[in-house]
Structure 1
Amino acid sequence: MDLSSDRMNEYLKNATEETLALIETLCGIPAPSGLEDARADFCKQWLEEQGAKGVYIDAAKNVIYPVACENAEKIVLFSAHTDTVFPDVEPMPFIRDEKYLHSPGVGDDTTCLAVMLMIAKYIAKNGIKPKDCGILIVANSCEEGLGNLKGIKQIMQDYAGKICRAYTFDGQYNALANDCVGSHRYEITLKTEGGHSFRDFGNRNAIVAAAQLICRLNDCKIPVYNNSRTTQNIGLITGGTSVNTIAQETKFFYEYRSNNAQCLAEMKTFFEEQIAWAKAENIAEIAVNTVGIRPCADGVDEKELAEISKNAVEISQKYSGIPCICRAGSTDCNIPMSLGVPAVCVGSYIGSGEHTREEKVEIESIPVGLKIAAELILQYFEKE
């Protein structure tokens, strides 16, 4: 698809203000992970108002716009997530000044979502057809945190064996993710008899038990294969009653991450060995709850992945005029990549403060993001 065509050029020239208005509207619709209902309803209605046919919301709260998918043997997926990292269920502040849009979640992933929707509008309004595949345009749920990639998992399950490539719009256009950081996340609860700090001195203390286990976890020898990167973290500890009480219960959250499947497997074995030690030593009653699993890539055609990565980098740099680096990330791409489907995560803006309440997006980056998304998507469509 040639973006210099009169119709496309005219559309992009006039799309910036509408995109900015759409971003503001979306920012006014709270969408914590798992509670994206209102934002999903808005996206569905908005797409239908632009002339999109067959739009539906699935059981995972994904908004799905299928284009020529009914009899397609191969489908290319484009997605942007509707959820934000913030738990707020009331609208958060939105400010537009001369240079920036300010709002929690304005960049991640609201701007990317709005940009993708604007290209979907062009497709719907002009009735253009894919070349030799079906196209899925999806506003998906549950990308952030403990959303555990539920939305994109549902898409890959429902279209199993058909999706041949996947693109997700998430983040800034000065970098793209074409490698997956997988992660395992656990909540570990320890319980003991506890008691009075003086009268019952000698009873097992849940906080001491947790400290023993944490020290053993922290002593892990991190595995390395080739250029892999693996990390671990204790993220939160709670428990105890008072300064003069032997703690009866405490819990902590533990995660490890890696861009290498073998490293993830070894970290899992190490973690299970430490839990087994703690139980054998009877330091406390221990319960382990798995709160998140994000897989690594597995069986992806490296040549095809390199091809679509190179294409995405070239498109990003063509319109932005700045370098676009490739790196590993924990994104919706983890799911297709874990199933052997080549996938890249591409940005749509420049900004700062991601995952903070001070997040902002540069207004002048929006037209660039529109052009990047337009060429990435429309290259799979017939020329006008």
Structure 2
Amino acid sequence: MEYVVAAVILLVVLVAGAVGLMVPRMRRRELPPQAGGGTTTLERPTEDEIPPLVVPAEADEGLPPLIEEPPVLETERKPELDQPEPTAGRLVRLRARLARSQTVLGRGLLSVLSRDHLDEDAWEEIEDSLISADVGVEATQALVERLRERVRVLGTRTVAEVRAQLAEELTAALEPDMDRTLRTEPHEGRPAVVLVVGVNGAGKTTTCGKIGRVLIADGRSVLFGAADTFRAAAAEQLATWGERVGAETVRGPEGGDPASVAFDAVKRGIDTGIDTVLIDTAGRLQNKVGLMDELGKVKRVVEKHGPVDETLLILDATTGQNGLEQARVFTEVVDVTGVVLTKLDGTAKGGIVIAVQRKLGIPVKLVGLGEGPDDLAPFEPGAFVEALLGSDS
């Protein structure tokens, strides 16, 4: 009986071992698992078992390539720079801007002077016209006195003759022999420095940009110094003017020290070999002592690099005789060397040119005759008078 039990146990062990050897081989042929998870293990097929991939010829049509070429990036285009108009003859080309001034200083005077007889009322009318045009009382009296003497000596004349003599007197009153040259020639190892000053609202920053265009049109290289750090938009505005003509702008933090910005601008001009540095200062009222003292500081700091070549005062032609007081105070603080008259277009106040020069002995060097970027012209007395008087007819 014991032998039978042992034989059964041995038989069971042998069967279990055979089953254990067969199970792994069966697992390799399992079907993919049912949905719900798990991992499928498949034997790697041989190369002979992989069928070739057959793609119909028409399937290639209209399909993108399997490997796309990288897109070609266009290089950023540099903005085209403006080409400022040449300064020669600008005043002649812009004579139409003085059309309204002709009514007072031109046609009005001609119509009176061409009368057969000039009595005291006529001469008073001439005086009133000149004073209304901001020529100034003293300058008007001197001009009228010379005209009366010419009429007394020469008698009645044609309109053409009257016009020619009036043109001579007005040109003489503008002192054509004054030096109106802009001192913008660079020095040995450093640029020329032009300081631009004026009161608020005179168009100072815009005019500074236009002066830069005038210099560039004449072949100068220019750098702007945005020393007006108190007006938020001033530096941005000046930088825009510079970008249009390819000029660099040195600027500082808003509310920063204007003198420091001006100093850095001149230093940058020295380092880069620029011909002319234009420094735009903050607008100031001539009766604010503290602000005027600060303007004096700007000039003193800049002069550590060398003397300032030009200090241009921007005057609004429509301010009339008040502009004379502005010019006087600015001259005491920073020694103004020249005047730029703006907003002469559409105004009958062209006589302020005569008043400024007679009262202060400061030459008007540039005049603004419009809002266009090139509507700033070198002042030429003869051409200015011709524009005021209009045609001979």
Q: TM-score range by the shorter chain?
A: under 0.3
TM-score under structure 2 length normalisation: 0.26
Name the larger-Rg structure: 2
Structure ranking higher in strand proportion: 1
